[in-house]
Amino acid sequence: MNSFGSTIQLLEIKSRSCCRPALLAALLLGCVNSRAASDVDARVGSLLAQMTLAEKIGQMTQVDSAALPDKSHIQKYFLGSVLSGGGSDPADNSPQSWLNLTAECQSWAAKTRLKIPLLYGVDAVHGHNNVLGAVIFPHHIGLGATRNPALVESAARVTAEEIAGTGINWTFAPCIAVAQDARWGRTYESFSDSPELTGELGAAAVRGFQKNSILACAKHFVGDGGTRGGADQGDTAADEATLRKIHLAPYLPAIKSGVGSVMISFSSWNGAKMHGNKHLISDVLKGELGFKGFTISDWAAIDQLPHDYKGSIEASINAGLDMIMVPNGPGQGNNYLEFIAKLTELVNEKRVPLTRIDDAVRRILRTKFAMGAFEAKPVDTSLTAAIGSESHRQVARDCVRQSLVVLKNDSSALPLSKNLKRILVVGRAADDLGMQCGGWTLSWQGETGKVTSGGTTILEAIRQSVGSNTVVSVSADGSGAHDADAVIVVVGETPYAEMKGDRGDLRLSAQDNALIKKARQAGAPMVTVLLSGRPLILGDALEASDAFVAAWLPGTEGLGVTDVLFGDYQPTGKLPRAWPRGADETPAQTSSGTQSAFPFGFGLTYDARHPSDSRPIKTASANP
């Protein structure tokens, strides 16, 4: 019996608090026993029958918290959901302030006539990354290198616990885009360019989130990773068979894992915006694939449809959108008051059938009931206190260990001995938590420097890892390596996220190449660690290094990097996508391996001990 088969038996337990995660997954899979299904359906039907059109449309409306001129609008307009987008944080961004914000919003929902609770959404895409002091996990591309579904599920479980500690109940994750072109600025949000690996790890993340009653959201439906030239919000030109084989495939395991929501993509398919694509949203996703949850638009994405605003609302709702993210408030362009008014007009004019409204609201309410939102208790303060805890950081540290891919290790340069007399650390990225974490970390685009409390930079981790007699020196420009026993150079991309992260040129920066070249001149054994959200064209940097490690965007736990560099753990990471050799290489050539520097699945292990080090190398845990 599979895991869902065993958990479905729990649904006969009368206490909803005992079976909430199983109920969510099972109901959305359509494989729950008739008694539990009838109970939820009866409650949904009863509630829906009492609702006015205004209350129904309110449930279909999601507003950014910063756009609400007054939180009482949640009650006044019967809003079904609030989100905190990039930058919509409480003043001091502490866990307690987040908890206060979400509690205030829920209190206004509780004052509505029918007391329907809110779904509060946030982009917790690699940990609860909006919150000061939360654990930041490796981005998806690093988790893809682990090839470890159990570990990915554990990471999502920890993230869900930290989300719950702030009173939030919905994350816009996992991203199950199958990024084909690394020039796309969201490549690091993709587990892999393999549909199979992406689907396997995406389903694991769904299970991890929803086991803790945090609603997951598979995104972005569909084809976001296949746009021409890797252009963000661009056009995926492909026949339907190709779209299904590459981009639709990961949605099947996510749906089988009971994912409760799906976000529609900004991108287009063969020139037509996805937010108006009835065939793929209603016929394929909801019909053919049997998705029982609800769909959500991306940030103001319906505004990009080729109509006036009222026409865009009509097209998106009739295409199968159930909830619309209308982040703007009064006076900010197309806003939630205008959305509510125009959708009301469309229903009264019979341009949007009331049956379509009822279907959307039924899906939203069904999910709220299934995830236990109507029976939600006050937030367990132990969850709030556990945000950023050592036990959570240990799971993230294990993710880092298993994500590192050793691309080169000449003369067994790795692992480094902890007993070297002097180690020189070169590169600004070595002591920059923001560069380790990348985009979507406290702010939308991310930033350099000490972006959050807690965590350990790679430089700090090196100092903690070596013996007391080892001198760790720092060089900003690569000089001073002549008397070092080993040099560790840490280079990489500065933080970025969607839109601003698109790059036409994927070559390692001239500054980083010059740094590596200068550090190499002294002749000491040199290890280069690359922090990046995608494979970069390495040029002479690879040849100049004795060992080269792709560390991706590892997050806050730099000790996971040094665990591997100094041989406490065996490197096990394997490339989740092929590594290009040159700037003129096409994505197809890279993925096929015909011109790649390193093929999909490549990754070295340590086959010999350092002569002065007899310590056994551990293998990282599969189930932390």
Do 89 and 173 fall into the same domain? Answer: yes
> Which pLDDT value is given to residue 621?
56
- Residue after which a domain boundary falls, among 364, 385, 406: 385
Query: Domain holding 47: CATH number?
Result: 3.20.20.300
Neighbours of 379 (CB within 10 A): 16
Q: How many CB atoms lie within 10 A of CB 443?
A: 17
Q: Is residue 198 part of a domain?
A: yes
Nearest by Cα to 455 from 435, 425, 475? 435
The residue whose two tokens read 């340069």 is 413
Query: Which of residues 369, 385, 401 is at a domain's end?
Result: 385
Per-residue pLDDT at 18: 37
How far apart are alpha carbons 299 and 295 in whole angstroms? 13
Q: Are both 259 and 110 inside the same structural domain?
A: yes
Bridge partners, residue 526, by sequence: 487
Q: How many CB atoms lie within 10 A of CB 617?
A: 16
Sign of CA dihedral 73, 441, 397, 183: positive
Nearest-angstrom CA–CA distance, 347 and 356:
9
Looking at the fold, whether 224 and 284 belong to one and the same domain comes out as yes
Retrieve residue 398's tokens: 């294990």
Domain identity same for 377 and 399: no
Number of structural domains, the chain?
A: 2
For residue 617, is it within any domain? Answer: no
What sign has the CA pseudo-torsion 539, 541, 544, 545?
Answer: negative
Q: What is the pLDDT of residue 260?
A: 97
**Residues near 220 by Cβ (< 8 Å), separated by ≥ 6?**
175, 177, 263, 264, 265, 266, 267, 274, 298
What is the DSSP pairing of strand 471-475 with strand 422-426? parallel
Residue 368 has pLDDT above 90, yes or no: yes
In a domain, 622, yes or no: no
Residue 406 dihedral angles phi and psi, to the nearest 5°: -85, 115
Residue 624 belongs to some domain of the structure: no
Rounded to whole angstroms, the Cα distance separating 613 from 623 reads 28
Checking if the pLDDT of 609 tops 50, the result is: no
Same domain, yes or no, for 483 and 374? no
d(CA 47, CA 43): 6
Mean pLDDT for the chain overall: 92
pLDDT tens, position by position, 270-305: 999 999 999 999 999 999 999 999 999 999 999 999
Query: What phi, psi does 121 have (nearest 5°)?
Result: -105, 150
* The dihedral formed by the CA atoms of 533, 223, 64 and 344, expressed in degrees to the nearest 10: 180
Same domain, 375 and 415: no
Q: Tell whether 258 and 290 lie within a shared domain.
A: yes
8 — pLDDT class (breaks 50, 70, 90): very low
Q: Are residues 277 and 199 in the same domain?
A: yes
Radius of gyration of the chain (CA): 25
Q: How far apart are CA 418 and CA 410, in angstroms?
A: 19
Torsions phi, psi of 39, nearest 5?
A: -65, -50
Instruction: Report the pLDDT value the prediction gives residue 171, as an integer from 0 to 100.
Output: 98
CA atoms within 13 A of residue 424's CA, in its CB half-sphere:
25
> CB under 8 Å to 242, separation ≥6 — which residues?
none
Which residues are paired to 441 by β-bridges? 443
Residues 93-108 have a mean pLDDT of 97
Question: What is the pLDDT averaged over residues 578-591?
Answer: 76
| 620 backbone φψ class: left, alpha, beta (φ>0; ψ -120 to 50) | beta
Res. 500 pLDDT band, cuts 50 70 90: very high
Average pLDDT over residues 41-53: 97
Q: Diameter of the chain by CA atoms?
A: 81
Q: How far apart are CA 473 and CA 471, in angstroms?
A: 6
Residue 623 has pLDDT above 60, yes or no: no
Report the 10 Å Cβ neighbour count for 71: 17
Asked if residue 205 belongs to a domain, the reply is yes
pLDDT of residue 610: 42
Are 399 and 140 contacting, i.e. CB atoms less than 8 angstroms apart?
A: no
Mean pLDDT over 347-360 rounds to: 98
pLDDT of residue 619: 60
pLDDT at residue 29 is higher than 70: no
Q: What is the mean pLDDT of residues 568-572?
A: 97
Tokens of 592: 């096929």
Mark whether 230 and 317 lie in a shared domain: yes
Residue 43 in tokens: 């409650």
Q: Is 192 exposed, middle or buried (0-12, 13-18, 19+ CB in 10 A)?
A: buried
The bridge status of strand 294-296 relative to strand 268-269 is unpaired
DSSP 536-581: -B-THHHHH-SEEEEEE---SBTHHHHHHHTTSB------SSPEES
Name residue 461's amino acid. Answer: A
Among the residue ranges 1-5, 229-233, 581-585, the one predicted with the least confidence is: 1-5
Domain span at residue 454 reads 390-598
Residue in the structure block whose two tokens are 């991310």? 446
Both 345 and 413 in a single domain?
no
Residue 207 pLDDT exceeds 60: yes
Number of H helices, E strands in the chain: 23, 19
CB atoms within 10 A of CB 228: 10
Alpha-carbon distance of 140 to 275, in angstroms, equals 25
Share of the chain above pLDDT 90, in %: 86
Lookup: tokens for 365: 């309410």
**pLDDT band, residue 376 (cuts 50/70/90):** confident
Per-residue buried b or exposed e for 233-243, using 16+ beta carbons within 10 Å of the residue's own CB: bbbbebeeeeb
Cα 32 to chain center, whole Å?
29
Pair 302, 268 in one domain: yes
Q: Whose CA is closest to 293, among 64, 50, 114, 29?
A: 29
Residues 322-328 have a mean pLDDT of: 98
Distance CA 236, CA 249 (A): 15
> Does 608 map to a domain?
no
Give residue-wise pLDDT tens across range 571-581.
999 999 999 99
- Residues 361 and 422 both lie in one domain: no
The DSSP call for residue 115 is -
Higher pLDDT, 229 or 32: 229
CATH code, 471: 3.40.50.1700
Strands 119-122 and 170-171: parallel
Q: Which contacts qualify for 576-579: CB closer than 8 Å, 24 or more apart? A: 576/141, 576/144, 576/145, 576/147, 576/191, 576/192, 576/193, 576/194, 576/197, 576/600, 577/141, 577/144, 577/179, 577/182, 577/192, 577/193, 577/194, 577/535, 578/193, 578/535, 579/407, 579/535, 579/550
Considering the chain, what percentage of its residues have pLDDT values greater than 70?
A: 90
How far apart, in Å, do the first and last CA atoms of the chain sit?
Answer: 24
For residue 256, count other CB atoms closer than 10 A to its CB: 19
Q: What's the full length of the chain, in residues?
A: 624
In a domain, 165, yes or no: yes
Domain boundary among 385, 407, 439: 385
- At 611 the pLDDT is 40
Mean pLDDT calculated for residue range 252-264? 98
In a domain, 174, yes or no: yes
Q: What positions carry a catalytic annotation? A: 298, 498
